[in-house]
Each structure stands twice: as C-alpha cells, then as structure tokens.
C-alpha cells in the first residue's frame, strides 16, 4: 500500500510573526500604513483623560483598523468582529493582539459622530495626492438600505395611536381568554409563562408608543402635510424598492468618473431623495472644477435643482422621466423584455360582458325633427343646441320625460343611478363651426428645464450621460455584494451616516491599494 506523510490537526505551537501577515500591496497593508502615517487622529486621542489615572484604553488607531478591515470582509456585527480578533491572524496582526470586546467595538462606531467626516476627508486627500480623482465628472446616486427599525412601528401620530389601542385590546383579549378557560375563576394572575410574556410585551409596546407620541412632534413635509414617523427610529423612512417597502435610509454617494473614488457621502431618511442633489454637490466642492460635469438620474430632476445648478454655472445632465421615451434608440426595447411565464400569463384579457352595461348614444335613433327614440321606443325631446368654444363643436341635448322613464322596464340598463335619476339625457355632437380655428402649437419654452432636456437629448449629451451608470452603480455593487452591506445595524441618522462613511472609506482605501500605493 502507498505511504503518505502524516497530517496533524491537533493543537500546535507555531511561530507567527504578526508583522509578516501584513503583506505589501494588499488592502491590509494600505489600511495599516494609511492609519499610522497619513491620518490625523488627534481628535480621537482627545477623548481620553487617563494619562495619569484610570484604566488603559484601546488605541483608536487599532479600533479604526479593525472596523474598516471587518467591513471590507463583510463583517458588520460587533460580535463577529470580536470573534475575528480572537481567531483571524490578520485581525490579530492589525490589532496587535489587543482583543477588544464587542461592546468596545460597537461603542467606538456609534460614538465616532462628526469625526468620521474628517477621517473620510483625509482619505480623499491621500487619494487626490495619488492622482485618483480626475474631476471630469461626478455621478450622484443613492441606494436604499433597511435599518434597525421596524416597519410595524411606522405611521402618522393618529395611526400610531390606533395601533397602541389595538395592541392594548389584544393584551386584554389574551387575559380574558385565559380567564374564560380557567375553571377556578382566577383573575388572570396565573397566566401560563408563554401567554404572560406575550401580554407583557404588548403592554410594553403600548407604553413605548404612547410615550413617543407624547414627546415627539409631528413630522411635516414641505407642503405642511404630516408624514409617517417611526417609533424605533424617527429619522428613518418608509421607502419603496424593487423588492418591496423597507424601513431605512437612502445612502447617497458622489463618485468620480476616473477611478470611481467616492468624493461625497451622506444618508437621508425623512427627506425626499431629490433634496440631496445640491448638498452632495456642495460636499464635493473641494474636488469639483469649473468644467466638472454632474450626472444624476431622474430621481433628482426637479425644477429647483435644475435652476439652481444653472444659476451657479455648474455643468450638469439630470435626466427627466421622459428621457428614455424620447430616445429613438429605445423604440424597439420591448422586444428585448422577457415574454413572461406561459403558465401564468397576466396579460389583461378582454372584458367579458357583465349584463350591466348601460345604453350608449349609439343605441338611440336621432331624428331630423329634433327628437330621438330610446331603445324602449320612447321619445326624447331636444332642449336646444350649445356651442363649445374650446372645441369648436355644437352639442344638442335630448332629455326624456320622467313619466316615460319612471315605469320603464329598461331603466336599470339605461340610467347610471336608477334609484335617484328621474330621466335619461343624451348628447349629440355636430360638426365644427366653419369659422373655428385650430389652436396654434405651443411655443417651446426657453427655460432651464428645456435647456437641460435639449442638452441631454443631443448626441454628445447622451454619450456623456451614458457614463453615469458605469461610474456609480459598480460602487454600490461592490459595497452591497462584495462587502455584504445588506442593512444598517444602527439607529438614528447620525450613527447610520457614520457607518455609511466608514464603508465609503473602505471603498476608497481599496482603490488606493489597487493603484499600487506604497507597494
């Protein structure tokens, strides 16, 4: 029989040099060098006052490295990051075997706050120094992600008040049901453990909802109308996606067209997404040049946005909702769409007669003496002719006698509301008046919206706007698929914005590492 070398799978003491695990040219190397030599973390150091007394703290440089590397590996949970710091050799090398707990990791992320924007800006400075920001075009778009909030706890103040009442009645029904089943006639204090927990959970939710309603003001839109809020995360919002409605945030990004560097980032939950176009342009001001072209899809197209960009002299191509319909290249696009499941064809079928169709004017016989006959043979008399100025048409009105329509057997098929309409009326349109003039065609307006539409419909505009999808969509694909960013696990816009900036930093550092920086 052949002989093979033995395999050992038990515990071994292996010599591991942690510094050798950080390989030049890798993401870990770029991250380690960037944090240690390029970023200014003095604001994070200023948090600590334990120089002379108090316990030692985890180095914020180490914590930042751990979190950014974890996000690059698709680890979002602080407990998963804690386990990686104990067992993954690259995490151990980055952290210097400091082994922070999940509580310290979660606290570090949630308390970064506005300081994360300064760190994000410093990474952009390094990217710009390496020539990774071209400044030719910025593509702005957003991706909708769920957050740590419940859709069931969303609604207007009145809807939340009604929900609290329903939950309270549900708890009472559980107690009364148990009392009815209790032969001893108890007062419900001897509920079984499962029902007792359910009742307590319902009552806690009622108290939490009513406390929220007593403290939180109503949220109003720009028109002064009340919009829905959320008890668990008031800053989040309900958003429609291709996979249904989510409770979360729309993460925004402005991406440079040369190397897909994210030059601006933000999140929005309670405001319409189109309201973020101008703020994103302002955030990218440090890297925007006079000729930098701003690209955005139809979700950002509003009159105010277009006029503001034109007034500031910012070149932009913002698609409107009719752009694709005007594109002659997409005339035959329907033939490329899937034909659908032949076993479940949902195409509308011809409507079957229901037997309730009313008689139409074509069912009446109009005579030359100014009368007409209805399907029942009764006479309708004309009460004159009316001239419709806007259409240039003459209309003659005919009306039946209530004495004829009242006992008629066809009344149900002739009148829309047989129970309250006394008699049938019919209108007959005649020819146009000889002196009627066709309205002139509407003169094309010369405003910002028209100029934007003309620019984006031109061959050069279509070519340049076509760069949008290839610039910004791969960035979202990288973060959502490769980095497994399926949801935000924090609450509140400030904390969610921190997490989004950290993910954008990961993307930019990955671009730095891929460019051969410090290799």
Say if residue 142 is in the same domain as residue 247: yes
For residues 343, 348, 352 and 353, what is the CA-based torsion angle, rounded to 10 degrees?
A: 170
Say if residue 252 is in the same domain as residue 313: yes
- Does a structural domain hold residue 91? yes
CA distance 498 to 488: 10
- Each as own residue / partner, the long-range contacts of residues 454-459 (CB below 8 Å, 24 or more positions apart, any chain) are 455/317, 456/317, 456/318, 456/319, 456/320, 456/323, 457/323, 457/326, 457/327
Say if residue 371 is in the same domain as residue 390: yes
With vertex at residue 96, the alpha carbon angle to CA 94 and CA 102, rounded to the nearest 5 degrees, is: 80
Say if residue 466 is in the same domain as residue 320: yes
Nearest to 354 by CA among 416, 424, 413: 413
Say if residue 262 is in the same domain as residue 312: yes
- Does a structural domain hold residue 65? yes
Q: Do 31 and 65 touch, CB atoms closer than 8 A? A: yes
How far, in Å, are 142, 242, 262 from residue 297 at the CA level? 10, 17, 17
Say if residue 64 is in the same domain as residue 101: yes
CA distance 298 to 307: 15
Q: Which residue has the tokens 């009392």?
A: 179
**180 secondary structure, DSSP code:** H
| Number of domains observed in the structure of the chain | 4
- Does a structural domain hold residue 324? yes
Say if residue 25 is in the same domain as residue 99: yes
pTM: 0.77
Say if residue 242 is in the same domain as residue 327: yes
CA distance 332 to 436: 39
DSSP labels, 335-346: GGS----TTS--
Say if residue 257 is in the same domain as residue 323: yes
Kindly give, in sequence order, each residue whose CB lies less than 8 Å from that of residue 181, ignoring residues fewer than 6 positions away: none
CA distance 235 to 387: 57
Nearest to 272 by CA among 225, 310, 309: 225
Say if residue 300 is in the same domain as residue 381: no
Say if residue 40 is in the same domain as residue 104: yes
- Does a structural domain hold residue 482? yes
Per-residue pLDDT for the chain (519 aa), expressed as one digit of tens each?
Answer: 899 998 888 888 888 888 888 988 899 999 999 999 999 999 998 888 887 787 889 999 999 999 999 999 999 999 999 999 999 999 999 999 889 999 999 999 999 989 999 999 999 999 999 999 999 999 999 999 999 988 888 888 888 999 999 999 998 888 887 777 665 555 545 567 888 888 888 999 999 999 999 888 888 877 778 888 899 999 898 888 877 888 999 999 999 999 999 999 999 987 678 889 999 999 999 999 999 999 999 999 999 999 999 999 999 999 998 888 888 887 777 766 666 554 445 555 555 445 557 888 888 888 888 888 998 888 988 877 765 655 667 788 888 988 888 888 888 888 888 888 888 988 888 766 555 555 555 445 678 899 999 999 999 999 999 999 999 999 999 999 999 999 999 999 999 999 999 999 999 999 999 988 764
- Does a structural domain hold residue 355? no
Q: For residue 474, what is the domain's CATH number?
A: 3.30.420
Q: Do 505 and 127 touch, CB atoms closer than 8 A? A: no
* Residue 166 lies in domain: 157-217
- Each as own residue / partner, the long-range contacts of residues 371-380 (CB below 8 Å, 24 or more positions apart, any chain) are 371/398, 372/398, 372/426, 372/428, 374/400, 374/410, 374/414, 374/424, 375/410, 375/414, 376/404, 376/408, 376/409, 376/410, 376/414, 378/404, 378/405, 378/408, 379/404, 380/424, 380/426
Containing 512, the helix (H) or strand (E) segment is: helix 493-514
Q: Do 130 and 275 touch, CB atoms closer than 8 A? A: no
Which of 398, 432, 466 represents a domain boundary (last residue)? 432
Q: Which residue has the tokens 């600590």?
A: 48
- Does a structural domain hold residue 126? no
Q: Please report the pLDDT score of residue 388 as a whole number.
A: 62
Beta-bridge partners for 227: 219
CA distance 518 to 513: 8
Rounded to 5 degrees, what are φ and ψ at 192?
Answer: -65, 165
Kindly give, in sequence order, each residue whose CB lies less than 8 Å from that of residue 285, ignoring residues fewer than 6 positions away: none
**In this structure, what token pair is assigned to residue 230?**
């959320």
Say if residue 97 is in the same domain as residue 37: yes
- Does a structural domain hold residue 228? no
- Does a structural domain hold residue 508? no
**38 secondary structure, DSSP code:** I
Half-sphere exposure at residue 159, Cβ-oriented, CA atoms within 13 angstroms: 13
In angstroms, the first-to-last Cα distance of the chain is 49
């Amino acid at each position: 029989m052949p002989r093979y070398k033995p395999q050992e799978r038990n515990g071994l003491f292996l010599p591991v040099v942690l510094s050798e695990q950080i390989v030049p040219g890798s993401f870990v190397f770029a991250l380690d060098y960037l944090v240690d030599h390029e970023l200014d973390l003095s604001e994070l150091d200023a948090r600590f006052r334990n120089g002379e007394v108090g316990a030692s703290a985890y180095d914020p440089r180490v914590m930042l490295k751990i979190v950014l590397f974890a996000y690059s590996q698709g680890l979002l949970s602080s407990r998963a990051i804690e386990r990686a710091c104990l067992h993954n050799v690259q995490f151990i090398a980055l952290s210097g075997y400091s082994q922070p707990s999940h509580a310290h990791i979660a606290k570090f992320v949630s308390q970064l706050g506005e300081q994360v924007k300064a760190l994000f800006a410093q990474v952009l400075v390094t990217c710009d120094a390496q020539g990774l920001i071209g400044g030719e075009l910025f593509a702005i778009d957003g991706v909708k992600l769920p957050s740590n909030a419940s859709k069931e706890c969303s609604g207007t103040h009145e809807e939340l008040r009604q929900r609290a009442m329903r939950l309270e009645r549900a708890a009472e029904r559980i107690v009364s049901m148990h009392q009815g089943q209790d032969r001893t006639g108890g007062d419900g204090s001897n509920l079984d453990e499962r029902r007792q927990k359910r009742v307590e959970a319902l009552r806690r939710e009622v108290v939490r909802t009513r406390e929220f309603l007593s403290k939180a003001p109503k949220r109003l839109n720009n028109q002064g109308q009340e919009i829905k809020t959320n008890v668990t995360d008031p800053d989040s919002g309900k958003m429609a996606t291709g996979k249904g409605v989510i409770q979360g945030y729309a993460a925004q990004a402005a991406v440079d067209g040369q190397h897909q560097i994210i030059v601006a980032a933000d999140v929005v939950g309670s405001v319409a997404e189109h309201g973020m176009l101008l703020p994103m342009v302002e955030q990218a001001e440090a890297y925007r040049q006079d000729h930098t072209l701003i690209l955005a899809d139809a979700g950002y197209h509003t009159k105010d946005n277009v006029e503001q960009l034109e007034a500031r002299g910012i070149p932009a191509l913002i698609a409107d909702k009719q752009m694709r319909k005007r594109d002659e290249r997409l005339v035959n696009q329907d033939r490329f769409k899937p034909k659908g499941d032949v076993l479940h064809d949902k195409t509308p079928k011809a409507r079957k007669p229901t037997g309730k169709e009313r008689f139409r004017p074509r069912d009446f016989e109009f005579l030359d003496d100014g009368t007409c006959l209805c399907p029942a043979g009764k006479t309708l008399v004309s009460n004159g002719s009316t001239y419709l100025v806007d259409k240039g048409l003459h209309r003659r009105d005919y009306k039946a006698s209530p004495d004829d329509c009242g006992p008629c057997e066809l009344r149900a098929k002739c009148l829309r509301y047989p129970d309250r309409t006394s008699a049938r009326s019919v209108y007959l349109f005649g020819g146009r008046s000889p002196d009627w003039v066709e309205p002139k065609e509407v003169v094309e307006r010369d405003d910002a919206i028209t100029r934007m539409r003309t620019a984006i419909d031109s061959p050069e505009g279509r070519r340049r706007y076509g760069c949008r999808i290839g610039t910004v969509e791969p960035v979202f694909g990288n973060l959502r698929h490769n980095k497994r960013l399926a949801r935000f696990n924090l609450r509140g816009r400030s904390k969610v914005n921190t997490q989004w900036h950290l993910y954008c930093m990961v993307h930019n550092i990955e671009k730095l590492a891929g460019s051969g920086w410090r290799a």
